[in-house]
Structure 1
Amino acid sequence: MKKNSCISLIFITLFSLCVNAQSKKWTLEECVRYAVENNISIKQTELDSKTAIIDRKGAIGNFLPSFNINSSHSWNIGLNQDITTGLLQNQTTQFTAAGANVGVNIYSGLQNQNTLRRANLSIVAAKYQLLKMQEDIALNVANAFLQVLFNKENLKVQQQQLAINEQQYDRSDQLVKAGSIPRGDLLDIKATVATNKQNVIIAENVLLISKLSLAQLLQLKDFEDFDVVDTTDINDENNIMAETPNAIYSKALEGRTELKIARVNLEIAEKSVAIAKGAYQPTLQGFYNFNSRVAYSDRVVGLEPNILNPTSVSGFVEGTNQIVLVPNFTRTLGSAAPFFDQFFDNKGQTFGVQLSIPVFNGFTARNTVARSKVSLERSKIAVEQQDLDLQRNVFTAFADSKGALNAYESSTVAVEARQVAYDYAKERYDVGLMNSFDFNQSQTLLTNAQSEVLRTKYDYIFKIKILEFYFGIPLIKN
């Protein structure tokens, strides 16, 4: 019995987990957070940040000395001079050479320092670009999320309208049988029911497409059961509409990412000008070189008297013309000296400093400075443009939010009036005082009013989110 109970408990637990997994509905915060962590565009922007870090490492490397080792082994085949006898002869000789050199950049017009500063600024700019991408994705997700909610409620409206018309069709069928209304009215109601069914199918398809769009924006691979929570509350929880446009604009000046990007790019352009001007100044470099050589040919190890020709004429005594004889010796050859003995005996070293003063290089430095100054002016204009765009966007967003609120309030009043008019028309239709055409018109006006309430409602929610976004209120909490 205990074994069966345990099996039942496990089965119930697994079934509950499966049901919960299938019935999971995503909140707006969960959607935004997931998109920020998994969106492909954001991942690509993260790679730009890594590239900026690598560039900074390269800028740091410019301050370090260079050190290189070289070596070679060569064969000389053919007519060569014998280094032991000085005679030309056909032979094959081998040589091994090795060396090392060190270079130190002492001064280069502060170009290395400014390059490092520019690399640090590039890292900051890359971080701002990543943040800007995350903010844009968050707004797109919020818009797609609200679109799903709108389509959900619109589907409910269409389904409710279909249910009402089906009931009305049954009621009209009874009235036709009782002779209270003509059969033509029943046919009109039947056509209306068919139209409502079509509207429900269209609303279902639109809802499905909006879910797919949101799931693809989140980069979800399994989106067949994807759904969001039915959050329908509308309120300005942060009371953003109580702020003035100027207050929101002042807050946006402090925290908006696109303005920070423009300002950092301006600083980068200033450093680029300083780097370009550094080419006008002299450069001073220190160097040290070490080299050595090893030969594998035979060497002279001693001298022996020449038995066959023991003497040779060296010259004549001045005045007497007496012949001067000198002994002849023959060189004794041996194998090459040991490798490391030759390596240390043949070593050589050079060191010093090299000064390079730019005089004329075909206007290269001057043109580079001119181009960097043009880029600097572009960056200054970009900062001014971002400031103007931010001010315009904030005031436009505030006006849009205010207009969306007024539209929502007006549509709410309108739908209440349409509901009263529909109820009155239904009462008149039920007692035969209104024909089906006029009744359908009243019903259509009510449906349109309900749809307008939904549209203005979610339009207002999204515009409030944009206004909060400019005020520095994030869509998700850290």
Structure 2
Amino acid sequence: MNNFIEIPKCVLFAMVLFASFMGSRAYAQGGPWTLDQCVDYAYENNLSIRQSLLEVRNSQNTYTQSQWERGPALDANISQGWSFGRTVDPFSNQFVSQSFNFNNSSLVLSWTIFAGGQIRHNIQQNNYSLTASQLNVEQVKYDVALNVATAYLNVLLNQELLNVAIKQREATQEQLDRTQKLFNAGSVAINQVVDLQAQLANDELNIVNAENQVLLSKLNLMQVMNLPAADDFDLAITTLPDIGRAEIYPQAPAEIYVSAEQTWAGIKRTEMSIRSSEASVEAAQGRRYPTLSFSANLSSGYSSARTLFDQSISSQTQIIGVVDGTGQTVSTTVPVVDRVPRDYPFLQQYGDNFGQGFSFNLRIPIFNRRQISTGIQNSKLQVERNRLEAQNVRVQLRQNIEQSYNDARAATISYNAQRQQLEALQLAFETTERRFNAGAASAVDFNIAKINRDRAEADLVRAKYNHIFRQKVLDYYQNKPITLD
């Protein structure tokens, strides 16, 4: 099976250069990238992580707001109005036929004393939701780390395949030089030289294809990291441990699942979602209870239609009658009140109209068109949905672990088989090479043995990286750090 895609180098270079210009800017990296640096950069720039962090901030705000619901609310109200024509003065309660302006101000305090536990359960619900969103960030980060590690391993794989292709070209070049000398000495026929030249051209093509694969895998890694493409992107030299004979993963799928169930952030998140929905049911049931609240207010106002009067009292003689017979007038002194209107100042009116009051309010739900019952039923349905989701996550996790374990087992067996195959084909190649150098084998026999050996060497490299990757996936399910040690 050939892992190479034949893409001309000029086309690949144009693709990478175009992606580089499309990026906002290249990340300034002081040297080759390690796996930890790639993961850290992805943590800072991955859009899924950013979105999940915004969800955490939103949940934190909601949780904080629900805690503030325990306290009182204080509101200030100010209104300014104008009236024209015949209307009722809001302060004198008399009809006036004039244009005037009025102002009202109040300060209102309201405080819920008892609401059937709704506030307390809402706080619990939002707290569980906040924890669930934080666990979601943890899960997204671990998924991103696995994706980065997979892409990173793919780059290392293609780089090693490139090194294998270069060594194969060098071996062919050495054999061609030796055969050319033998041909010049008249010891071999020209067809053996031509066959080796064809094999060398094929090795050159394999190098070109391997280089293309390295560039493509680097581009894929940069895209997973959300790093603008750059042609100077290189990985740090990473030496993977010598595997030798690979061993089957030491833990069985059931053991891996038990460990994953205790540490898997996705499962913990679903558990928090269940608790949040259960608290929502308690809050919905609290609406059946009476609500007791306290309110107090301060108020005052002003009206330009109101006036003050300055009063003065004087005496006035008033004739009240005439005496019969004499015609003498009878008079008396009566008080006379004079009222002189003047403006009623704004501040004085506010002081005179200042009022205070407080009240306790009890609201008892009797019938509200089944809104409370429907809300409780819907909250219980949400609990069931979250429980099914949690069960589905567990089933999916168990199935993924079982599949990953079988993949890892197959990869280990395949690696050991490829290793034995390479040893056999290497021995066959060395035997054919000695016979070819002695003139007992043709160039065709030599090329066939070399092609088989080269293919087996490349397949072993792929099998080694596949084995390593499958082992890391099983580590991932147990929440173990993803490293290349």
Work out whether 1:397 is the aligned partner of 2:407.
no
CA deviations over 1:141-187 (Å, ceiling 9, x no partner): 11111111110110011111111222222233334344444333332
Aligned: 1:270 with 2:278: yes
Alignment of 1:215-364 (within 5 A): 215-221=222-228, 223-228=230-235, 229-235=237-243, 241-297=249-305, 298-302=307-311, 332-364=339-371
- What residue in structure 1 maps to residue 454 of structure 2? 447
1:60-209 paired onto structure 2 within 5 Å = 60-80=67-87, 90-209=97-216
Contact 1:66 1:102 in 2 (8 A): yes
**TM-score, normalising length from structure 1?**
0.84
Residues 113/87 of structure 1: CA separation in 2 closer, same or farther (3 Å cut) = closer
Q: 1:49 aligns with which of 33, 53, 56?
A: 56
1:51-88 Cα shifts (integer Å, max 9, x gaps): 11111111012111111111122222223468999986
Q: Secondary structure at the match of 2:357?
A: strand
Change (3 A) 1:232 1:341: same
Query: Scaled by the length of structure 2, what TM-score is found?
Result: 0.83
1:58 paired residue number: 65
The structural deviation recorded for 1:201 is 0.8
Residue of structure 1 in register with 2:433 after alignment: 426
Worse-matched range after superposition: 426-435 or 44-53: 426-435
1:466–1:234 Cα change, 3 Å: farther
Instruction: Return the alpha-carbon distance in structure 2 between the equivalents of residues 219 and 276 of structure 1.
Output: 44
Quick one: structure 1 residues 247 and 271, their matched pair in 2 at CA, closer, same or farther if it must change by over 3 Å?
Answer: same
- Tell me: CA distance 1:304–1:476, structure 2 relative to 1, closer, same or farther (3 Å): farther
Q: How many angstroms apart in 1 are the aligned matches of 2:477 and 2:188?
A: 60
Distance change in 2, residues 1:443/1:336 (3 Å) = same
Distance 1:71 1:377 in 2: 49
Q: Secondary structure at the match of 1:149?
A: helix
Report the counterpart of residue 372 of structure 2 in structure 1: 365
Write the letter of the residue equivalent to 1:474: P
Q: Pick closer, same or farther for the CA change 1:240–1:81 going to 2, 3 Å.
A: same
Shift in alpha-carbon separation, 1:147–1:88, aligned structure 2, 3 A: closer
For the 8 Å contact 2:138–2:265, the answer to whether it is kept is yes
What's the offset of the Cα at 1:99? 0.8
Q: Is the alpha carbon distance of 1:235 and 1:473 closer, same or farther for their aligned partners in structure 2, counting shifts above 3 Å? A: farther
**Partners of 1:346 and 1:302 in 2: how far apart?**
22
Paired residue secondary structure (2:480): coil
After TM superposition, give the deviation of residue 109 of structure 1 in Å. Answer: 1.9
The verdict on how the C-alpha distance between 1:125 and 1:172 changes in structure 2, with shifts beyond 3 A counting, is same
Q: After superposition, what is the alpha-carbon deviation per residue over 1:297-319, rounded to whole angstroms, capped at 9, x for unaligned?
A: 43233266799x9899xxxxxxx
Any gaps of 5 or more consecutive residues in structure 2?
A: 1-27, 321-331
CA distance in 2, matches of 1:440, 1:67: 90
- How many pairs align? 442
Residue 335 of structure 1: SS of its match in structure 2? strand
Secondary structure at 2:367 match in 1: coil
Equivalents in 1 of 2:94, 2:263: separation in Å?
A: 84
- Does structure 1 conserve the Cα–Cα contact (< 8 Å) formed by 2:111 and 2:294? yes
Q: Is the 8 A contact 1:426 1:439 kept in 2?
A: yes
Deviations 1:261-291 (A, max 9, x none): 1111111111121222222222222111221
Change (3 A) 1:288 1:86: closer
**CA deviation vs aligned residue, 1:19-42 (integer Å, no higher than 9, x gap):** xx9883333233323332443322
Instruction: Specify the code of the residue in structure 2 equivalent to 1:104.
Output: W
Q: What SS does the corresponding residue of 1:241 show, helix, strand or coil?
A: coil
1:351 to partner: Cα distance = 1.8
The answer to whether residue 476 in structure 2 is matched with residue 469 in structure 1 is yes
Give how far 1:329 is off: 5.8
Native 8 Å contact 1:295 1:336 kept in 2: no
User: 1:458 Cα deviation (Å)?
Assistant: 0.7
Q: CA deviation at 1:252?
A: 1.6
* 2:99 alignment partner, SS class: strand
Residues 419, 460 of structure 2: 8 Å contact kept = yes
Q: Compared with structure 1, are the counterparts of its residues 84 and 332 closer, same or farther at alpha carbon in structure 2 (3 Å cutoff)?
A: farther
Return the alpha-carbon distance in structure 1 between the equivalents of residues 338 and 421 of structure 2. Answer: 123
C-alpha distance after superposition, 1:81-101 (max 9, x if no partner): 689999866422222221111
Q: Which runs of 5+ in 1 are unaligned?
A: 1-20, 313-324
**Distance in 2 of aligned mates of 1:163 and 1:251:** 49
Residue pair 2:219, 2:229 contacting (<8 A) in 1 also: no
Q: Name which of structure 1's ranges 86-95 and 460-469 shifts more when overlaid on structure 2.
A: 86-95
Distance 1:395 1:336, change over 3 A: same
Q: Conserved in 2, the CA contact under 8 Å of 1:67 and 1:101?
A: yes
- 2:11 aligned residue: none
Aligned pair in 2 of structure 1 residues 77, 276: CA closer, same or farther (>3 Å)?
A: same
* Secondary structure of the corresponding residue to residue 102 of structure 2: strand
